Amino acid sequence: MSSNVITVPVGQTQAKPWVDELHQWLTTVDHKRLGILYIVSALLFLAVGGVEALIIRIQLMHSHNNFVSPQIFNQMFTMHGTTMIFFVAMPVLFGFANYLVPLMIGARDMAFPRLNAFSFWLSFFGGLLLYFSFFGGSGLYGAGSAPDVGWWSYAPLGARAFSPGHSSDYWTLALLVSGFGSIGTAINIIATILCLRCPGMKINRMPLLVWMNLVMAGMVLLAITPLSAAQIMLLIDRYLGGHFFDTQAGGSAVLWMHFFWIFGHPEVYVLIIPCFAFMSEIIPVFSRKPIFGYPVMVAATVCIAFVSMSVWAHHMFTIGMNSYANSFFTLTTMAVGVPTGIKIFNWIGTMWGGRIQFKTPMLFSIGFLFQFLIAGLTGIMMAASPFDWQLSLSYFVVAHFHYVIVGGILFALFAAFYYWYPKMTGRMLSERLGKWHFWLFLIGFHMTFDVMHVPGILGMPRRIYTYEPGRGWDTLNLIISIGAFIQAIAILVFVASLIISYFKGARAGNDPWDAWTLEWSISSPPPAYNFATVPTVASRRPLWDLKHPEDPDSRYE
Amino acid sequence: MAGLIIAESAIFTIFVVAYLFYLGKSITGPTPAEVLETPIFYTICLLSSSLTIHLAAKSLERDYTRLFLGLWLLTIALGGLFLYGTAQEWHRLIYEHGLTISTNLFGTTYYSLVGLHAFHVTAGLIMLSVVAIFAFIGRMGVRQSDRVAVLSMYWHFVDAVWVVVFTVVYVLGR
């Protein structure tokens, strides 16, 4: 497709001084650069959140350990959770959405480029604000203190009396600010997808990644906003003397839980649906078959979005709701497993009979399928409220949701990194380092999170900073911690691979995977204007049509 | 803008839920029935401003710029009047009845919900005023009518929210 690239006159391509380059990155409104900024900032926060996880694991390595104080331990798990959800997972997924959605629908940019830049800087500075609490948490005159009331900040812990100083305010404001950023991005994604599709890109021809990001953005609008509203209420309580969550004045601590989880549970699907999107693009390409059951995939996604809005109180079975509420949320939670199961069958159906190529993105995708399935199964276990009464707030829960977030979301993200890195940089990631990364991470992951289910069943509560010897938890915790360090080594391999490949990787060319969506029709990295001529699409796999004019997909749709 | 309205609706929903949830749960007075008076006149002002902004947007589409400016200023005046009404009500509640945001649960939820709405009216008035300034210096024409339509959508949303807030606070809540 070299005819599709505008030749730049000599003289304009010379290297610019680094100050200019930096200035361009800071002031950019280009969706590709903002996408990369999102991803890079998320990787930075991933490193920070990862170090916090390691500190937690060192502390729990054996009983009566004194590596950190209880106060620091509380700060570590609070910051780890908050960072990983709000400043790693959300931004990195928004980054990929920003980068890929316009390219996949043949658009020049997002619908509102400046809103896009504004949203990115909001979420980035939200993260900085959160971490500034380490210096300014008790006010600038004293030593800082990070928020230490858990990532859900249950009332009354978040109230002024129990969380003096400003640490909780940093938490509230950081989430409020980055929440507005998320809303901006979601509006942008929806407007882009609905208004900027290229000719022929009918809504039922959009790549599944675009479809699922559309659903994700819709969910962000309905899920993040309750959190923002609850944060505003918490601020009113803390600064204006309000009584929303003040039980002594008749307020309700349970209401905070409801508001938090009305955000909190859909949030899981906000994070996992873009990962489904990656899977739906990567698995077909490496199975050399079109996706199995496209309309069903779309329907299942929309179905998940609806059902997931009505499952939130399964996080609250132990607070004493009446039996009708318990039954309702048990049923809805089990129901959400149905469309998710449909998806897993569709991915397996796509692989079935295909010529599977075990490249690194595909390895991570297969890991995702297995681990996400297991995560779903433990989820179904805990959806049964009597079972949940037994295991709530134990390490079983921690193992379950890390299975979703690490085994599911992070594996899908790694697959996406290996798959789209060539498009973003023009260089391939090393397959050899990729295999090292995959196997090390897989072994570390299973060592940590498979084993973690067991102390949970044995009764080890979450969020304790140490424990008595002789309960049968010691060896298990040691294995968990060793696994965490193996994962950390795997991440180092990954980062090294990202950096080395950027300078020394093999040239990717336009289309290294022989893929079918529009982003692979232009050069890698894409030019600022994306498409020199607006593409026209006649089927769900436009590049297949282009490569196989004798047997185009459009004949069958 | 439709996306923003969905998001805003969710925020308002949460505040309305909180208001309804805490109705009658205050431990000390004053209660809504004792102190609230239904602001019929100011409600009519706000609701009719929806009509004027609609007519203004229509007249801009047909390029009647003078008529547009007149109707637009009328909208701002009606919105301002509504805001004045809220301010007066708050003044009365604070100075005559001693009800503030920290008095009891009613105060907390009432000022939050009505305040959130008043904040949106204020933001709307600022945007409307910017358009009015552009209209005064003759920069508003048919070409801007799409943008004005988006802004009027926001204003309709603010009015619609008031219908909900009015129902919840002044009708059901007393």
Closest to A187 in 3D by CA, of A81, A115, A243? A115
Measure the CA–CA gap between A274 and A208, rounded to whole angstroms. Answer: 10
Whether A155 is in a domain gets the answer: yes
Question: Helices A411-425 & A31-59, crossing angle to 10 degrees?
Answer: 140
- Record: contact A241-B102, CB cut-off 8 A: yes
- Record: contact B102-A243, CB cut-off 8 A: yes
Q: Distance between alpha carbon A10 and the CA centroid of its chain, in Å?
A: 41
Q: Say if B143 is an interface residue toward chain A (CB within 8 Å).
A: no
B59: Cα within 13 Å, side-chain hemisphere = 16
Q: Say if A221 is an interface residue toward chain B (CB within 8 Å).
A: yes
pTM of the model: 0.92
Which of B7, B102, B108 is the closest to A221 by Cβ? B7
pLDDT at position B38: 87
- Record: contact B15-A191, CB cut-off 8 A: no
Closest to B89 in 3D by CA, of B134, B51, B41? B41
pLDDT averaged over every residue in chain B: 90
Residue A209 has pLDDT above 60, yes or no: yes
Interface of A with B in 173-212 (CB under 8 A): 183, 186-187, 190-191
Whether A373 is in a domain gets the answer: yes
**pLDDT above 90: percentage of residues in chain A:** 76
pLDDT at position A426: 93
Instruction: Please enumerate in sequence order all residues whose Cβ is within 8 A of that of A532, keeping only pairs 6 or more positions apart, or say none.
Output: A4, A5, A6
How big is the A-B interface in CB pairs under 8 Å?
Answer: 82
- Record: contact B7-A249, CB cut-off 8 A: no
ipTM: 0.91
Helix %, strand %, coil % for chain B, to 5? 80, 0, 20
Q: Is A148 helix (H, G, I), strand (E, B) or coil?
A: coil
Give residue A85's identity as a one-letter amino acid code.
I
Q: Nearest CA to CA, how far is A308 from chain B (Å)?
A: 16
Residue B1 has pLDDT above 50, yes or no: yes
Decide which of B6 and A184 is more confident.
A184
pLDDT at position A555: 79
DSSP state of A198: P
Measure the CA–CA gap between A55 and A60, rounded to whole angstroms. Answer: 9
- Record: contact B101-A221, CB cut-off 8 A: no
Instruction: Please enumerate in sequence order all residues whose Cβ is within 8 A of that of A241, keeping only pairs 6 or more positions apart, or say none.
Output: B101, B102
Confidence class for position A32, pLDDT limits 50, 70, 90 = very high
Q: Which residues of A touch B108 (CB under 8 A)?
A: 236-237, 242-244, 251
**A442, A367 in Cβ contact below 8 A?**
yes
Residue whose structure tokens are 């007149």: B70
Confidence class for position A441, pLDDT limits 50, 70, 90 = very high
Residue A512: count other Cβ atoms within 10 Å of its Cβ. 17
Structure tokens at A369: 């399928």
- Record: contact A230-B14, CB cut-off 8 A: yes
Give residue A335's identity as a one-letter amino acid code.
A
Measure the CA–CA gap between A104 and A207, rounded to whole angstroms. Answer: 7
pLDDT at position A7: 53
Q: What is the CA radius of gyration of chain A?
A: 24
Confidence class for position A3, pLDDT limits 50, 70, 90 = very low
Give residue A340's identity as a one-letter amino acid code.
T
Give the domain CATH number at A366.
1.20.210.10
Whether A481 is in a domain gets the answer: yes
Measure the CA–CA gap between A148 and A217, rounded to whole angstroms. Answer: 30
Residue A2 has pLDDT above 50, yes or no: no
Closest to A449 in 3D by CA, of A489, A487, A392? A487
Measure the CA–CA gap between B158 and B160, rounded to whole angstroms. Answer: 5
Torsion region of A541: left, alpha or beta (phi above 0 gives left; psi -120 to 50 gives alpha): beta
Q: Following CA atoms A506, A29, A515, A43 in sequence, which dihedral angle do they give, to the nearest 10 degrees?
A: 60
DSSP state of A152: T
Residue A55 has pLDDT above 50, yes or no: yes
Q: DSSP string of B88-134?
A: HHHHHHHHHH---TTTSHHHHHHHHHHHHHHHHHHHHHHHHHHHHHH
Residue A143 has pLDDT above 60, yes or no: no
Q: Nearest CA to CA, how far is B74 from chain A (Å)?
A: 31
Whether A162 is in a domain gets the answer: yes
Q: What is the mean pLDDT of residues A526-533?
A: 92
Residue A13 has pLDDT above 60, yes or no: no
Measure the CA–CA gap between A398 and A400, rounded to whole angstroms. Answer: 5
- Record: contact B101-A240, CB cut-off 8 A: yes
pLDDT at position A1: 39
pLDDT tens-digit series, residues A348-362: 999 999 999 999 999
Q: Say if A225 is an interface residue toward chain B (CB within 8 Å).
A: yes
Q: Say if B112 is an interface residue toward chain A (CB within 8 Å).
A: yes
Residue whose structure tokens are 């409600």: B43
DSSP state of A13: S
Whether A460 is in a domain gets the answer: yes
Measure the CA–CA gap between A27 and A19, rounded to whole angstroms. Answer: 12
Residue whose structure tokens are 């890079």: A40
CA dihedral over B61, B66, B69, B71, signed as positive or negative:
negative
Structure tokens at B36: 């609230």
3-state SS of A333-394 is: HHHHHHHHHHHHHHHHHHHCCCCCCCCHHHHHHHHHHHHHHHHHHHHHHHHCHHHHHHHCCE
Residue A238: count other Cβ atoms within 10 Å of its Cβ. 18
Q: Say if A384 is an interface residue toward chain B (CB within 8 Å).
A: no
Residue of A nearest to B113 (CA): A233
pLDDT at position A56: 95
Residue B61 has pLDDT above 50, yes or no: yes
Q: Which residues of A touch B8 (CB under 8 A)?
A: 225
Q: Which residues of B touch A260 (CB under 8 A)?
A: none
* Total domain count, chain A: 1
Q: What is the mean pLDDT of residues A478-499?
A: 96
pLDDT averaged over every residue in chain A: 91
Whether A379 is in a domain gets the answer: yes
pLDDT tens-digit series, residues B75-134: 999 999 999 999 999 999 999 888 988 888 999 999 999 999 999 999 999 999 999 999
Omega within 30 of 0 (cis) for the link into A535: no
- The two most distant CA atoms of chain A are separated, in Å, by 75
**A300, A344 in Cβ contact below 8 A?**
no
pLDDT tens-digit series, residues A156-207: 888 888 887 788 889 999 999 999 999 999 999 999 999 999 999 999 999 9
pLDDT at position A145: 78
Give residue A505's identity as a one-letter amino acid code.
G
Which of B7, B18, B27 is the closest to A183 by Cβ? B7
Q: Which residues of B touch A252 (CB under 8 A)?
A: 21-22, 25
pLDDT at position A39: 96
Whether A455 is in a domain gets the answer: yes
Structure tokens at A266: 């859909």
Residue whose structure tokens are 């208001």: B19
pLDDT at position A168: 87
Domains annotated on chain B, with CATH: 2-172 (1.20.120.80)
Q: Which residues of B touch A240 (CB under 8 A)?
A: 101-102
Q: Nearest CA to CA, how far is B70 from chain A (Å)?
A: 31
Residue B48: count other Cβ atoms within 10 Å of its Cβ. 15
Whether A500 is in a domain gets the answer: yes
Q: DSSP string of A385-448?
A: HHHHHHHTTBHHHHHHHHIIIIIIIIHHHHHHHHHHHHHHHSBPPPHHHHHHHHHHHHHHHHHH
Residue A196: count other Cβ atoms within 10 Å of its Cβ. 17
Residue A8 has pLDDT above 80, yes or no: no
- Record: contact B8-A250, CB cut-off 8 A: no
Q: How far is CA A202 from CA A207, A210, A538, B83, in A?
A: 10, 12, 9, 46
**A303, A339 in Cβ contact below 8 A?**
yes
Q: Which residues of A touch B26 (CB under 8 A)?
A: 249-250
pLDDT at position A138: 63
Instruction: Give me the domain span that covers residue A300.
Output: 33-555
Residue of B nearest to A192 (CA): B3
Give residue B12's identity as a one-letter amino acid code.
F
Q: Which residues of A touch B15 (CB under 8 A)?
A: 229, 233
**A493, A442 in Cβ contact below 8 A?**
no
Residue A125 has pLDDT above 90, yes or no: yes
